[in-house]
A and B are shown apart, each in its own frame.
Chain A
Amino acid sequence: MEIARSFGLMVPELILGGSALILLLVVAYGGRSVTRAVFIGSATAIGAALIFTVSTVTDNVTGAGAEAFGTQFSADSFAGYAKVLIYLAAMACLAIAPAFLKRFDALRGEYAVLVLLAVMGMGLMVSATDLIALYMGLELNSLAAYVLASFLRDDQRSAEAGLKYFILGALASGILLYGMSLIYGFTGTTSFDGIAAAISGEISTGALFGVIFMLVGLAFKISAVPFHMWTPDVYEGAPTPVTTFFATAPKVAAIALLSRVALDAFGDQVFAWRQVVIFAALASIVVGALGAIGQNNLKRLLAYSSINNAGFILIGLAAATVQGLSAMLVYLAIYVVMSLGSFVAVLMLRNGQGEQLETFDDIAGLSSTRPLMAWCLLILMFSLAGIPPLFGFWGKFVVFQAAVQADMVLLAAIGIAASVIGAFYYIKFIKVMFFDEPVDRATGKATPASWAILIGSAILVSPLAFLLARWLGNQADTAAASLFLG
């Protein structure tokens, strides 16, 4: 019965994995004629997984009842919250991809299958309560992501992005594995609960090294400074729909995973990792802000923006309280919406010949020629900059409030002061669109799906979203509580 119960808890992953295998066969035999069906099938599979996950968020599932296969896997509310975000982001990324790939004659069903596998890997990551399960999920996600990054095989930049991502990702995985092996060596167990029990009290130097190495490996995955160097290159080189995907779903998964490792496995050793997290947070905020200033390429700029945002999210982690975790989850949800919207907007920038436009020069005066797109981007950029009354402000609000409540006033003050540097390039974005002379390069022709995502995300970060703040906060509280109580 135990095995049946365990399988019952991981229905979403089973759906995703099963569909991925079946669709892979369909692609192999059907060739290009079934591509459309494969995309729809993948989206449906993710949708089905979403339906099975939603209930775990709202019902506050936690503790032993959510654990499957011993202590390998936990389908608690925390995992549920992260999965809902991952699934929604993945579906959006699937919706925008076909039109783009078609223009490069690269529309293949494998794309959708790879996304499915990556999503399944992320599901495992956020649910993992054991080092082995963690690593399996992480690698399943990463391997699919490497292929996705180089999906445009004829494009040199895409191939380069894939290679870079692979080499640095493999290095990060190696460091992570080394940290895990140290932890295993010093605690004798791979389960998070076991680790927490084994190193209660004073932490040994060896185990401390293990913790640091694991943090380093995970910092690579969330592109926190000083392990962020791959981000601008990969984000720029990868096909834009893939970049959109990278900036959203895997980020959620990696941050959720990091939180679980830090607060669950090493929850009693906050002092051991807090300084590292604080450093990474502040460094990410500053480097993410300064690095973006000189960029002319919009994708690189948004890559730095995602580094910057990772820093703000880590401030919530540094607080190491339920409020901090809940604030991180709220921030993540808002971040996903803002990233989706802004990358989709970049994706929609094409000239009359159908070539992608990616630089500031191309969007000069966009507000005169394509007002709707420009106003949506304005909302997204002010939101990313955290200017009230846009909803991006709320993300920063809860994170910094949590930091202050955890008595980390100085961290909050430095972090928020550094956020002003970041505001510079967001308002530069707006300056180019609104104040400069129009060049009229972008045609504004895009698929209805892209428009829907752009406008939808602009509405979701508009002041109206403050009406959702309480609901979102409740979900995040439930999810955060499940990790702390479980």
Chain B
Amino acid sequence: MDGFPILSVMLLVPLLAGLACFFLASSEARIVALLATLINLGLGIVLWINYEIGGPQWQFTERGDVFAGFQYALGIDGIALMLIVLSVFLMPICILASWEAIQKRVGEYMAAFLLMEVLMIGVFAAQDLFLFYIFFEAGLIPMYLIIGIWGGTDRIYASFKFFLYTLFGSVLMLIAMFWMANEAGTSDIPTLMQYDFPAGAQTWLWLAFFASFAVKMPMFPFHTWLPAAHVQAPTAGSVILAGVLLKLGGYGFIRFSLPMFPEASAQFMWLVFILSCIAVVYASLVALVQEDMKKLIAYSSVAHMAIVTAGLFAFNIQGLEGAMIMMLSHGLVSGALFLCVGIIYDRLHTRDISRYGGLAINMPKYAIFFLLFTMASIGLPGTSGFVAEFLSLAGIYEISSDVTLILTTGIILGAGYMLYLYRRVVFGAQVNEDAAAMRDMNAREWFMLAPVAAAVLWMGVYPESFLAPMRSDIAALEARVARAAPQGDAALAAGTPREHEANYISGEHASGGAH
């Protein structure tokens, strides 16, 4: 693999395919898009296989001095690797999900999705502050068009809200980046991750970055764009939004806020915890009363992402690992849930929960998949959600048992709204004739859901595959923030082990020796 610019190729393939899609007829555009995303998936797998666990922190680095003011610098660590793999994994599924649902302006639609893929990979692979910003911000354009052109009835409001909210969040980050690059004399991310900014400045810088990532994440109270955008976006748009775009916020925290401003992160830890606690309880309660399936899942995303933020700011290995697994797991599970909604939406063209019911009777296969993802969302052991929630909450517990207590109610509430959703849609009597007449999943839909289901189980049963590449990076991050790590209330202390095991009977040993 030495010398082969695999990351650039991963950017180039969807870029070229995207440009080609502009000029192609509908059917060809679909095939080109699917092929390009599959090639990228292949490249992503190659990337994963060739990633040397325990090797250098930054691998597959590329550097090109072609721009003024910033460098074309790419490279990944384990964290970026997993998120890139998640992105390329979800992309072909998105294309399949749009195969029949999108009938107008297919070429432009596929082009927008492929450009989106370029930008997502770029964000995770960028090693220059400003290159990161360009990829980060540019994602607004295709997403704005996807929501606005192919979205639902209220799409214009949703697209404007999405665009302006996220733009406003990001611009202040740019000013902070200027200041950092000026202060440190470089815009190289790995260097900046080791640079110690003065503590006073960190506060402002942290807030500027927080403005951007909190909106992207989205954290309470900056989350209001998310339900609007999710509900109006086409299915595949929701999948990408939930699956990858929300991860940009978490990635930002783990790549910038924590390692670059450890003192400020500790200073604002309680802000993050409080917002996370409110988000978990509030978003879960709101989800409980939703009549719209997509809105319900959107609010569940807000709740899950709050566990991510709390886990990230727990300043310990479990918390960070849990947050990363939560991001990956949520990317798969909520993406799959949106796909499940999309499958029945394509048949009945409504997201109203009361219009369905009793689907287990006429769509048994669908019901099984839906059940699996519902359980994964709740965090049933054996699914990815369990690993994620367990690790993050274990990490947070070390810092604050009160916060953990509140966050754990989110899991109970989560079980509440997800099971309630499932009962109303899948179980019960077939009250609606048209819903009862829906056919079960076809082959295309199998191809969409089966791989995600496999991944969810894999991550739930053997998370080591996903944790291993990230382990050393998370350890490095933990070491970096350790100096600012706050004292937790759990005060875990290793006791002195007993001399003998508990059921040891004195004397037996001695007499045994006489035999």
Contacts and interface: CB of A to CB of B under 8 A. Distances in A.
Nearest to B118: A389
B156 A435 contact: yes
B485 to A, nearest CB: 29
Interface of A: 368, 382, 387-389, 393-394, 397-398, 400-401, 404-405, 409, 412-413, 416-417, 419-420, 423-424, 427-428, 430-431, 434-435, 466-467, 469-470, 472-473
| B interface, over-half SS | helix
A470 B67 contact: yes
Given A388-B134, A423-B163, A473-B69, A416 B148 contact: no
B178 A427 contact: no
Contact of B149 (A427, A435, A469): A435
Contacts of B135: 389
Given A404-B179, A424-B160, 4 more contacts: A388-B138, A435-B159, A467-B66, A469-B67
Interface stretch (B86-94, B139-147, B259-267): B139-147
Contacts of A420: 164, 167-168, 171
Contacts of A413: 172, 175
B134 A416 contact: no
A401 B69 contact: yes
A222 B180 CA distance: 33
Give the top 10 A-B pairs by smallest Cβ distance, nearest first.
Answer: A470-B68, A404-B178, A388-B134, A469-B68, A416-B171, A435-B148, A473-B68, A420-B168, A389-B138, A388-B137
Contacts of B130: 397
- B130, B155, B163 — which one has the most chain A CB atoms within 10 A of its CB? B163
Contacts of B465: none
A466 B140 CA distance: 19
A423 B167 CA distance: 9
A435 B105 CA distance: 12
Contacts of B137: 387-388, 393
A173 B177 CA distance: 42
Interface of B: 66-69, 105, 130, 133-135, 137-138, 140-141, 144-145, 148-149, 155-156, 159-160, 163-164, 167-168, 171-172, 174-175, 178-179, 181-182
B68 A401 contact: no
Contacts of B181: 401
Nearest to A467: B66
A420 B173 CA distance: 13
A265 B69 CA distance: 30
Given A388-B133, A393-B134, A470-B67, A434 B171 contact: no
A409 B105 CA distance: 44
Contact of B178 (A382, A405, A473): A405
B171 A427 contact: no
Contacts of B144: 427, 430
Contacts of A368: 105
B119 to A, nearest CB: 8
A373 to B, nearest CB: 14
Contacts of B156: 431, 435
Contacts of B172: 413, 416-417
Contact of A409 (B67, B159, B179): B179
Contacts of B179: 404, 409
B140 A387 contact: yes
28 contacts: A368-B105, A387-B137, A387-B138, A387-B141, A389-B134, A389-B135, A397-B130, A401-B182, A404-B179, A412-B178, A413-B175, A416-B171, A416-B174, A417-B171, A420-B171, A423-B167, A427-B160, A430-B144, A431-B148, A431-B156, A431-B159, A434-B145, A434-B148, A435-B149, A435-B159, A466-B66, A470-B67, A473-B68
A134 to B, nearest CB: 32
A434 B151 CA distance: 12
Contact of B175 (A388, A398, A416): A416
Interface majority SS (helix, strand, loop, mixed), chain A: helix
Contacts of A397: 69, 130, 174
Nearest to B165: A420
Given A387-B140, A389-B134, A397-B69, A435 B155 contact: yes
With most chain B CB atoms within 10 A of its CB, the pick from A387, A388, A409, A427 is A388
A404 B134 contact: no
Given A382-B141, A424-B160, A400 B175 contact: yes
Nearest to B15: A463
B19 to A, nearest CB: 11
Nearest to B130: A397
A24 to B, nearest CB: 44
Contacts of A388: 133-134, 137-138
Given A416-B171, A423-B164, A434 B140 contact: no
Contacts of B167: 387, 420, 423
A472 B130 CA distance: 18
Nearest to A473: B68
Contacts of B175: 400, 404, 409, 412-413, 416
Nearest to A436: B156
A387 B105 CA distance: 24
**Which of B144, B149, B171 counts the most A-chain CB atoms under 10 A from its CB?**
B171
B263 to A, nearest CB: 20
A470 B105 CA distance: 37
A53 to B, nearest CB: 23
A472 B69 CA distance: 12
Contacts of A434: 145, 148-149
Contacts of A469: 67-69
Nearest to B107: A371
Contacts of A466: 66-67
Nearest to B211: A417
Contacts of B67: 466-467, 469-470
Contacts of B134: 388-389, 393
B63 to A, nearest CB: 16
A400 B178 contact: yes
Contact of A401 (B159, B163, B168, B178): B178
A427 B140 CA distance: 11
Contacts of B141: 382, 387
Contacts of B182: 401, 404-405
B160 A431 contact: yes
B435 to A, nearest CB: 31
A435 B151 CA distance: 10
A435 B149 CA distance: 5
Contacts of A473: 68-69
